[in-house]
A and B are shown apart, each in its own frame.
Chain A
Amino acid sequence: MFFDDFSSFLAMGGHGLYVWLSYSLAAVIVAINFISPVLTRKKIIKDIERQLRREQK
């Protein structure tokens, strides 16, 4: 471990704001890339199922 304790890990030697801001932005963009295809998929499946039900009637 490079840092002595947890608070100095958070502070990053005074650069905490920059480091943590970067990592949280990365987390947001990664999360968007993971979640958006899941949402699209749900929507597509719902549309197809609605279509199928309509055809069965």
Chain B
Amino acid sequence: MWTRLKRLYHKMGSPKWFYEITTRWSKWFMAVGSILMLTGVVWGLAFAPADYLQGNSFRIIYIHVPASLLSQSAYIMMAVAGLVGLVWNMKMSFVVGKVIAPIGASLAILSLLTGAIWGKPTWGTWWVWDARLTSMLILLFLYFGVIAIYNAIENDEMANKAAAVLSIVGSINIPVIKYSVEWWNTLHQSATITLTKKPTMAPEMFIPLMLTILGFYCWFAVWVFARTRNEILFKERKTNWVKKLLQNGHKKTTGAQL
């Protein structure tokens, strides 16, 4: 068992192996993710019943909640990748952490935008300092910090390690931030209706939500793999396997890159 794990670990650390295995996995994640998203979105938009309080505007939930959830867990994933990189000095782990940052930030932006749009019919204004939206905004700021580090530090290895430290500290702080923002929100009672209220959701509303959440996760994997493979190609451009890969069947690989 232990030796097997160890072997897997060493394989994961090899860029070539990572490149090849994710090329294969990506197709499956893409296919499954697209089916889930398509079903979830069509179901959510056209078949799920309207919410008795919010009417049809609640259908925004099928993108708002997956985007919020995913961007939060992406931050944690980034921190874990950074921790693995720092502790075991694993280069591939740093690469994965690096490519997650812009994707996670884009999802945080999507969550904020859809939250604001959803707020307009619900609360009457585009922006309310609701607890969840506020914590999301702070999460976006945390992403900004990590991205700013990558932009500011030219040395790759140093940037990776610095961003890893920052994302670890950030993820330790996320629970404290969430708790304090929620506490602050109950103190001021700004929004009486919370946008998403899961426990009361009917199954025909809830199942499509599960589908889009899972679909978003699959697509997220595809995005991370695609960006990681780009980083690998660039880093390993002088090696023989990359040269060989490009010489025989570059056409084929461009077709199968997603």
Contact residues of A between 20 and 57, Cβ < 8 Å to B: 21-23, 25-26, 29-30, 32-34, 37-38, 40-42, 44-45, 47-49, 51-52
- 0/1 per residue, A1-16, Cβ < 8 Å to B? 1110000010011111
A44 to chain B, nearest CB (A): 5
- B117 x A44 contact (CB < 8 A): no
Residues of chain A within 8 A of B41, CB atoms compared: 23
Residues of chain B within 8 A of A41, CB atoms compared: 226, 229-230, 233, 254, 257
- A15 x B114 contact (CB < 8 A): no
What bracket does the count of chain A residues touching chain B fall in?
A: 20 to 34
Interface set of A (CB-CB < 8 Å, partner B):
1-3, 9, 12-16, 18-19, 21-23, 25-26, 29-30, 32-34, 37-38, 40-42, 44-45, 47-49, 51-52
Q: Besides A25-B117, A49-B250, 18 other CB < 8 A contacts?
A: A2-B48, A9-B45, A12-B55, A13-B50, A13-B55, A15-B121, A18-B121, A19-B45, A19-B60, A22-B118, A23-B60, A37-B230, A37-B257, A40-B230, A41-B254, A41-B257, A44-B237, A45-B246
Q: List 22 A-B residue pairs with CB atoms under 8 Å apart, sorted by A's residue number.
A: A9-B46, A12-B56, A13-B50, A14-B56, A15-B57, A18-B57, A23-B60, A25-B117, A26-B110, A32-B106, A38-B257, A40-B227, A40-B230, A41-B257, A42-B254, A45-B246, A45-B254, A47-B237, A48-B233, A48-B242, A49-B250, A52-B243
